[in-house]
Amino acid sequence: MGGSAGGALAAAVSNGGGLGLVGGGRGDPDWLDRELAVVAAGTDQPWGVGFLSWAADVSAVELALAHQPAAITLSFGDPLPFIDAVRRTDAALIIQVTDLDEARRAIAVGADLIVAQGTEAGGHGGSRGRSTLSFVPVVADLAAPIPILAAGGIADGRGLAAALVLGAAGALIGTRFQVTPEALVDPAITKAIIEGRGEETERNTVLDIARGASWPPEYPARTLRNQVIEQWRGREDELAADAEARRSYQAAVANGDLPPLPVWASEAIDLITDLRPAADLVGAIAAQAEQVIGSQWRK
């Protein structure tokens, strides 16, 4: 959720009882300075900052650490260059992994918490990934006693309860929090997620190529399907070589024919039906998980 999870959303999640994460993405310093000031002013609870390991540099992580977050999250790429900077502080080191090789690397560098992301997740994920249901318990067994969070296709308390039963200590939830008033997203994207269905999502690299994003190809993204994906699916190399097609994509965005960004969306978007304040959402998810787990024990 780089760019869309700003300081207001992170503060609201933390105030609701979760650990709000600012989506630092590639580490733009002006954006970080602004949004980290917002979260620091908005909550007295712990919060963290997430970065893309393949794109951010150490100076961006050090800038974030100067604001004294409780945690730094690293995803997609080698976390090793950032370890020393994090370890010089009291911040917890959270590493998101998409396959077992990444999980072993996270263990080796001393992660305090590991996020096991399944392929149901919205946005980018590993091309060698597995579904959340099968991936989380394997990572939990491999990493023990390091605690695990489940990610991918979790949008309500039932998903959180399932994650706990699988051996996770909790869940990292993205798409559901895109549809909150605190998220920094265009209203067209909010509307598309509420109206979308899981079968209308797919993992692809088409939209990254079309918009000139430099994401490594081993990390495709789950998005809502659109006409650009339909046209270029299976022809990614042609699209990469077709400058006119990429200009047409940018023109369609500028004209409002396409949303300003791809609609990153998990397979669980069927469960997202309303715009709800983030703090309320945290409480509702926790309460539903407690109810589900309690009802199972009573049977």
Q: pLDDT averaged over the chain?
A: 95
Q: Looking at the structure, tell me whether residues 112 and 45 fall in a common domain.
A: yes
- The string of pLDDT tens digits covering residues 162-219 is 999 999 999 999 999 999 999 999 998 999 999 999 999 999 999 999 999 999 999 9
pLDDT for residue 296: 67
Q: Which residues pair with 171 in a beta bridge?
A: 150
Structural domain of 246: 187-254
Q: Looking at the structure, tell me whether residues 40 and 144 fall in a common domain.
A: yes
261 domain-assigned: no
- The string of pLDDT tens digits covering residues 53-106 is 999 999 999 999 999 999 999 999 999 999 999 999 999 999 999 999 999 999
52 domain-assigned: yes
- In the chain, the number of structural domains is 2
Q: Looking at the structure, tell me whether residues 245 and 119 fall in a common domain.
A: no
249 domain-assigned: yes
116 domain-assigned: yes
Tell whether the model's pLDDT for residue 259 goes beyond 90: no
Answer with the residue of higher pLDDT: 17 or 3.
17
Q: Looking at the structure, tell me whether residues 113 and 191 fall in a common domain.
A: no
Tell whether the model's pLDDT for residue 299 goes beyond 60: no
CA atoms within 13 A on the CB side of 62: 7
Q: Looking at the structure, tell me whether residues 210 and 108 fall in a common domain.
A: no
pTM, two decimals, is: 0.94
CB contact burial 238-277 (16+ within 10 A = b; e otherwise): ebbeeeebbeebeebeeeeebbebbbbbbbbbebbeeeee
35 domain-assigned: yes
